[in-house]
Structure 1
Amino acid sequence: MKTVLTNKNISIRTRRRALECYIEPILMYGCETWTISKQTQKKLEATEMWFLGGMLRISWTAKKTNDTVLEEAHTTRLLISKIRKRQATFFGHVMRREKLENLVTTGMLEGKRSRGKQREKLIEGLTDWLKAGKSLEAIEATKDRKKWRTMIANAVKQGT
């Protein structure tokens, strides 16, 4: 794909579309179950910028800011919001099933907690992104598909 993505004879819009169709699905495989920390988010954003810089044939030693690269590519950062949207859709599906996956995803299992700092749960990342307030509010919102889809759409519009 490198020859297609770096070909100057092909428009940037077409190359961007090829990136979205062939490369991003491989990158985002299984992203529905990831917990995205600040460090992971930075790595994903850096990867997105690396792809765009490669498409535009911008050397990594060139002193160009990410904003100028995004302007040249006629795009914005979309990868994180795509991942979050897929996570929220998957989470809503799991919550409506009310089976074992529901318990595992919410982390509401009985037993002792392990020592040390606890891992961030998927629900905590989603409630922050959706600005739902509490985890229980987000879980309740999944029961009503229309309300859940509206919450997801609003979060995607905000671009956070």
Structure 2
Amino acid sequence: MELLFADDLVVVADSEEELQRRWMRWQIGMESKGLKVNTKTTEVMASSRRDVEVNIKDIDNARLKQVQEFKYLRVTLDARGGSQVAMRARVAAAWNKWRELSGVISNRKMPRKLNVKLYSTMIRPVLLYGAEVWTMGKEEKRILEATEMRMLRRITGVTLRERERSTDIRRELGVRDMNEKVKEIRMRWYGHVKRREGHPAKVAMESIVPGRRPRGRPKKRWRDNVKEDMSRTSGRGPGKRDLETEDPGG
């Protein structure tokens, strides 16, 4: 599979040999048309629970750099899966945006309503960029909750020592719970992809991953979040017709 956006190209394969063939085909094809591929900025990542070394070379027999993290369209992907790396990158980006606006949002003379507006329209969207595909476990929810409350407490001037509840601060500022916002974004994305017949995103979402999950408590998947969302929304279990598309052991 290949993903194309402007001058960015991602080549995906199930094996090292297949990835080498696809990469060589792309490089030879593009350079035959006069397009020079910058192999120094081309990176390889192997998605696995274990450390896997891959050896992909270009047409000059130079080995491409292997990384554990890969950023594509401002979303950070981790070789071991999960969403914590991507989330922490968005947290850092949100704090950078906060510092850019600190002259206004930290000014006590500015109306609080304006500061909340700046947070909701200019900072929180940076924090939640790509959140529709995050897998949310307890730790991920805690990271988002802690980040948002640090910002909201700075807006209100309320410290942790004052022991004011987070729900009270949100109610006072009129700000929705961050994790509820993520749920809304995720369900909107799920419905959008579900309606796109034959689209690669839907094919990937409904694909069945071969193999069995390891022993012990399994890691939460994005599909598990969707099932929970649908169950809570409908007040009953998730719809089998929509979600039961993979082997329970896979």
Query: Structure 1-normalised TM-score?
Result: 0.71
Q: Percent identity, please.
A: 21
Larger radius of gyration: 2
1:134 matched to 2:233? The reply is no
Q: Which has the higher contact order (CA 8 A, sep 6+)?
A: 1
Q: Distance in 1 between matches of 2:186 and 2:172?
A: 30
Instruction: Identify the residue that residue 87 of structure 1 maps to in structure 2.
Output: 186
1:44 matched to 2:148? The reply is no
Q: Distance in 2 between matches of 1:111 and 1:71?
A: 46
Please tell me the residue identity of whatever aligns with 2:240: L
Q: 1:58 aligns with which of 142, 158, 167?
A: 158
Give 1:103 deviation, angstroms. 3.6
Going from structure 1 to structure 2, the CA distance change for 1:125 and 1:61 (only over 3 Å counts) comes to same
Give 1:139 deviation, angstroms. 5.0
RMSD (CA atoms): 2.5
Query: Structure 2-normalised TM-score?
Result: 0.48
In structure 1, the gaps of 5 or more residues are 141-160
Please tell me the residue identity of whatever aligns with 1:124: D
Secondary structure in structure 2 of the residue aligned to 1:36: coil
Work out whether residues 227 and 243 of structure 2, in 8 Å CA contact, stay in contact via their aligned partners in 1.
no
Going from structure 1 to structure 2, the CA distance change for 1:105 and 1:49 (only over 3 Å counts) comes to same
Going from structure 1 to structure 2, the CA distance change for 1:68 and 1:111 (only over 3 Å counts) comes to closer
Structure richer in strand, relative to its length: 2
Q: Distance in 1 between matches of 2:228 and 2:180?
A: 13
Once the two structures are superposed, what CA deviation does each residue of 1:56-99 show, in whole Å capped at 9, x if it has no partner?
223344433324433543x2433222221111111112222234
Work out whether residues 49 and 66 of structure 1, in 8 Å CA contact, stay in contact via their aligned partners in 2.
yes
Structure richer in helix, relative to its length: 1
Q: Distance in 2 between matches of 1:87 and 1:9?
A: 37
1:25 matched to 2:125? The reply is yes
